[in-house]
Amino acid sequence: MRKIAVAMAKGGVGKTTTAVNLAYGLASGGKRVLLVDCDTQGQVAKFLGEKPAYGLYEFITERLEDGQFISRNATIHGCRPNLWILDGGIRLVELKNWLGEQSRENRQTILSQKLVPKDGALDYLIFDCAPGWDVLSVNILMAADEVLCPVALQGPSLQGLKTFFRYLQSAQKLNSDLRLEYILPTMFDRRTRHSHDNLMQLKKYFSRQLCDPVHHNVRLSEAPAHGQTIFEYDPRARGARDYRKLIRRIMNHGAPQKENT
């Protein structure tokens, strides 16, 4: 099973868009995928048009709001064939407090200890991470093996990466298996020199990890309002083609793939 954290220190770069479309694309290809929403905004379920009753808070603590116990299986929400989600949302604030109250020896690895599927039950774990650095962020990077960083090509694109590298280096001291595998340029506007300049900077420093960019595409921003992925909303859109290329590359363990659609 592969465990991929979609993470970046900066918000508004397309993390949830990437995590949702990646997870759906892998599931559509026959892979069994669990998508974990680790953000207090709880956007994953909204992007997919779902309203789970429970989520990551209940999964980790095994408790409901009134203190009653709940099984972990009951917190996992099936939303598409081969695709399940663990919902995020405001209850993650309570989860962070709960994690902070645990023993120093265990608090950073509770997620990796509890999120252990049965053999063969899943092919991919995808984590949609929040920006910032806290006890939940550490737990995610302790549970993941691969990191995918979306980087918006609008504004100072490398600034957020520099900050995230500091987080990543701290996490790698505790999780030696964790590695930065993919840099995904997002919001690429071929009409602007700024997008091209930012893309060239990324190519200069991250030639191995750099993926083909996801172009600025109105359809990508419209799809969540309909509770759909880009593949469901408009499979012919440029955004759908871009994410297909990313999915093929990830399934091929990082090797660039030629587009055949």
Cα(87)–Cα(43) distance, integer angstroms = 9
pLDDT over 60 at 226, yes or no = yes
- What pLDDT score does 257 carry? 55
Look at domain 2-251 and name its CATH class. Answer: alpha beta
- What pLDDT score does 261 carry? 43
| Residue appearing with tokens 């793939």 | 257
Question: Read out DSSP for 61-124?
Answer: H-B-TTS-B--GGGG-EEEETTEEEEB-STHHHHHHHHHHTS-TTTTTTHHHHH--PPTTS-SE
Q: How confident is the model at residue 258 (pLDDT cuts 50, 70, 90)?
A: low
- What pLDDT score does 11 carry? 87
- What pLDDT score does 157 carry? 65
Share of the chain above pLDDT 70, in %: 97
Q: Is 237 left (phi over 0), alpha (psi -120 to 50) or beta?
A: beta
Q: Which helix (H) or strand (E) holds 148?
A: strand 146-152
Per residue in 54-106, pLDDT (tens digit) is 999 999 999 998 889 999 999 999 999 999 999 999 999 999 999 999 988 88
Cβ atoms of 131 and 38 closer than 8 Å? no
Domain boundaries, the chain: 2-251
CA atoms within 13 A on the CB side of 102: 18
- What pLDDT score does 132 carry? 84
User: What value does the mean pLDDT of the chain take?
Assistant: 93
Per residue in 16-33, pLDDT (tens digit) is 999 999 999 999 999 999
- Give the sign of the dihedral formed by CA 60, CA 1, CA 142, CA 214: negative
Closest by alpha carbon to 21, among 76, 83, 87?
A: 83
Answer with the residue of higher pLDDT: 105 or 248. Answer: 248
Cβ atoms of 151 and 186 closer than 8 Å? yes
Contacts of 201 (CB under 8 A, 6+ apart): 157, 158
Per residue in 128-165, pLDDT (tens digit) is 999 988 999 999 999 999 999 999 998 776 788 888 98
